[in-house]
Amino acid sequence: MVEVLDTNVLVFANGQDGDDDCSFKASALLADIQPEDVAVDVGGEIFSEYGRCVNSQVQNKVGPFLWALYNVARRVPITPDAEGSYSEFPTHLELAEFPRKDRKFVAVALKAGDHRLSAASDYRAWGHHETALVAAGINLNFICPHLMRLKDADAARRSN
C-alpha cells in the first residue's frame, strides 16, 4: 500500500501545532511507514508545499524523514488542468468546493492505486468532504479525529 501524506501530518509530527496528542499520533504514523512507500507528484508540488509549511527552525523532528522521502519516495505523474486542478481529481459535484491546494494529494492517491491518504486536522478540506472522497475511491486515514470534531463544532457555532 502506498501512503500519501497531507502536509498537516508533517506539521504536527514536527511539533508546530501545539496539540500534543496529534503530534504524537503524527510522529507514530511516520515511524510506522517507510519513505519508499510514500507517493508524491512527479512535478514536485507536494515537496514544495512540505518545504513551505514544515518549519525546520521549530523542532526539525521530521528533517531526516523528509530527507529520506526526497530521495526514495514514489514519484507519481499527475496532470494539471486549466482550472487549477488535476485531470485525476474526481468530478463529483460534492467535491466542487474541495480546496484546490489539497487536490494534488487526492490526484496522487488515485493515480498511485492501492493507497491510504493520511490527514491530521483540516476539516474544511478533508472532514467536510469525507463521504464524497470515500465514494470517489479515497482511502482516508484521519489521525486526529478529535480535531475534526472540534473544528466541526466551531463551524456550527459560527453559523448560528
pTM of this structure: 0.88
Which tens digit of pLDDT belongs to each residue from 104-142? 999 999 999 999 999 986 665 788 899 999 999 999 999
Would you state the cell numbers that stand for residue 70, as one nine-digit string? 526526497
- pLDDT score recorded for residue 156: 42
Spans of all domains in the chain: 2-159
| Residue 154 pLDDT | 46
Q: Determine the pLDDT at residue 157.
A: 44
Query: How many other C-beta atoms can be found within 10 angstroms of the C-beta atom of residue 104?
Result: 24
DSSP state of 73: P
Question: Taking the CA of residue 115 as centre, how many other CA atoms within 13 Å lie in the half-sphere pointing to its CB?
Answer: 26
Number of alpha carbons in the 13 Å side-chain half-sphere of residue 116:
9
Low-confidence ranges of the chain (pLDDT < 70): 57-59, 121-124, 148-160
Write down the CATH number for the domain with range 2-159.
3.40.50.1010
C-alpha cell at 78: 499527475
Per the DSSP assignment, residues forming a β-bridge with 140 are 117
